[in-house]
Amino acid sequence: MSDAPSEPLGFSCACGALSGHIEAASVKQGTRLRCHCTDCRAVELYHGAPDPKGSGVDLLQLNPDMVVIDRGADQLHLLQLSPKGLYRWYAGCCGMPLFNGLRNPRLPFIAVRTALFFEPDRLGRVVAEAFIPQPGKPPRHKGAARMTMKLASRMISAWVSGRWRQTAFFDGQSGRPVAEPHVLSKAERRALTADK
């Protein structure tokens, strides 16, 4: 492990067949948050990860061009909880959930599970929380304005520079995802999202 803050931050799936990195500079442009939404929890449960109820799923929001897959790109598999749901990327080798992204490559957004990183402490502190449950009330958010401003800034930069085309998740010619999505049935989704 390196203590040099300028060195890339490595990540991998549980078995190590898929690995990659992000540059240290990308961390400053990213947003670290915890998401408590039903769907993020459902994905964790689908893959047999510990139930994040109460703690949320720790994520780093970036642009897709900031995420470099060094090895095992053929292990990128894709799940959707519904036909119009987010793309939920996971490792086909070991079933570990990896990234959440939008279905359109022209909307450059990816959220990386911080549990993938070898040195998660280098990602900085959590600055936002989404869909925090409140008994008898709609979920609330903390730091939403900051999260939205940084998201918009990253997207605009990627559009202007053309970096939105640099992605490991979509084919550059067709715009199709590099893996065929597996879409859960309504019954499968209900089983995961029912309060446990």
Q: Kindly state the average pLDDT of the residues 115-137.
A: 94
Domain assignment of residue 5, yes or no: no
Residue 104 lies inside a defined structural domain of this protein: yes
Single pTM value for the model: 0.92
Tokens representing 74 are 């053929």
Residue 92 in tokens:
């086909």
What is the average pLDDT across 174-183?
A: 95
Per-residue model confidence (pLDDT) at position 196: 55
Residue-number span of the structural domain to which 106 is assigned: 10-187
For residue 148, being part of any structural domain is answered with yes
196 found inside a domain: no
Give the chain's domain count. 1
The answer for residues whose C-beta is within 8 angstroms of residue 63's C-beta and 6 or more apart is 29, 108, 109, 110, 154, 155, 157, 158, 163, 164
In this structure, is residue 153 part of a structural domain?
yes
Residue at 69 is within a domain: yes
CATH number reported for the structural domain that contains residue 19 in this entry: 2.170.150.70
What are the angstrom distances between the C-alpha of 63 and each of 16, 71, 155, 180? 23, 19, 7, 21
Angstrom distance (rounded) from CA 106 to CA 155 = 9
pLDDT of residue 96: 97
